[in-house]
Structure 1
Amino acid sequence: MQEFEDWNQKVKKTFNATSNEEVLTVTEAGSLLGLSKDQMKTYTDKSKLTKVPIMRSVHRYLLLKSEIDALVKSQ
């Protein structure tokens, strides 16, 4: 039986394998900052964080791990 893999995690894994920039999903970034997924989306827009677009998806994006790490350190 094939194991289910979350689509966002699959895209993240593929991106990280082919890029020198590490990324996080919105949910992962939110959990590091103590925010829900919806709160993180709002925070991303207000803080003008870099959104890494996902091909063929208008509303989904990944966030740069380096930016999130800097925010976690500053808190």
Structure 2
Amino acid sequence: MQVVFEDWDQKVKKTFNATSKQEVLTVTEAGDLLGMTKDQMKVYVLKHNLTKVAINRSVHRYLLLKSEIDEILGKA
């Protein structure tokens, strides 16, 4: 039996998406879509006041609303 590692952010995202009407992305995923590194994406989030979906038990981790990223990409 092989154990597959699941990134903690991905696990939280999966749980959130299963229980919410709003779809979310991790900071890394959003950055990948916009051609940015995770660190660049964090700066972008602050600069453009994107909605941060808080993750329980973590002050520094958050998810981003997929709808806002889609809007930036012109997919809305």
- Superposition TM-score tier, normalisation by shorter sequence: over 0.9
Partners of 2:4 and 2:36 lie apart in 1 by: 28
Q: TM-score of the superposition, structure 1-length normalised?
A: 0.95
Structure 1: which 4+ aligned runs deviate by more than 3 Å? none
How much has 1:33 moved relative to structure 2? 0.5
Letter in 2 for 1:44: V
- In terms of fraction of residues, the more helix-rich structure is 1
SS at the partner of 1:58? coil
Percent of aligned pairs with the same amino acid? 72
Structure 2 portions without partners, runs of 5+: none
Partners of 1:16 and 1:54 lie apart in 2 by: 13
List per-residue Cα deviations over 1:18-50 (Å, max 9, x = no partner).
000000000000011111000000000000000
Q: Report the equivalent of 2:59.
A: 58
- In terms of fraction of residues, the more strand-rich structure is 1
How much has 1:2 moved relative to structure 2? 2.0
Letter in 2 for 1:65: K
Structure 1 portions without partners, runs of 5+: none
Q: Report the equivalent of 1:21.
A: 22
Question: Is 1:37 matched with 2:38?
Answer: yes
| Paired residue total | 74
